[in-house]
Amino acid sequence: MSDPAAALQEWHDAVNAGDVDAAVACCTEDVAIAGPRGIGHGHDLVRGWLTRSGIRLEPQEPLVEADGRFVVREVARWTTAGAPQGAPLEPTETWCVFTVTDGKVASIARFESPADIPAPANG
């Protein structure tokens, strides 16, 4: 898939359908995942995160790439009993920054607010 926005939408569709295998298939092998617990890499990490948390991420605006990344305001829902301790029980606004390389999600970073998002590396 050559359209980065379409690739990212495909990832969201899989995540929100609870299709962990399809979501993992949308990612590069060394996908980087960053969040409150730190940063890690790879399909096994994505699979574990999505399985444990049951997270659903609903973009609140169109997916638009700027400065080589997508900054997306999302409504997050954690749907499993295994969600990380402290995960909100109610739908919560969160911010995710994605990069897409060669039609695959290459990085995902989650932030509590737009103020927490670092400036683009080339900015």
pLDDT in tens, 106-120: 999 999 899 999 998
Residue 77 — φ and ψ, nearest 5°?
-130, 130
- Domain parsing of the chain, residue ranges: 4-113
> Counting Cβ atoms within 10 Å, is residue 29 exposed (0-12), middle (13-18) or buried (19+)?
exposed
- Cβ-Cβ contacts under 8 Å for 17 (sequence gap 6 or more): none
Closest CA to 107 of 121, 92, 88, 93: 121
> Counting Cβ atoms within 10 Å, is residue 105 exposed (0-12), middle (13-18) or buried (19+)?
buried
Tell me the C-alpha distance between 47 and 25, whole Å.
10
Predicted pLDDT at 109: 96
**Rg of the chain on CA atoms, in Å:** 13
Give 12's pLDDT tier (boundaries 50, 70, 90).
very high
Mean pLDDT along residues 52-64: 93
Give 52's pLDDT tier (boundaries 50, 70, 90).
confident
Predicted pLDDT at 93: 93
pTM of whole model > 0.95?
A: no
CATH assignment of 4-113? 3.10.450.50
- Cβ-Cβ contacts under 8 Å for 109 (sequence gap 6 or more): 32, 33, 34, 35, 39, 96, 97, 98
Predicted pLDDT at 2: 72
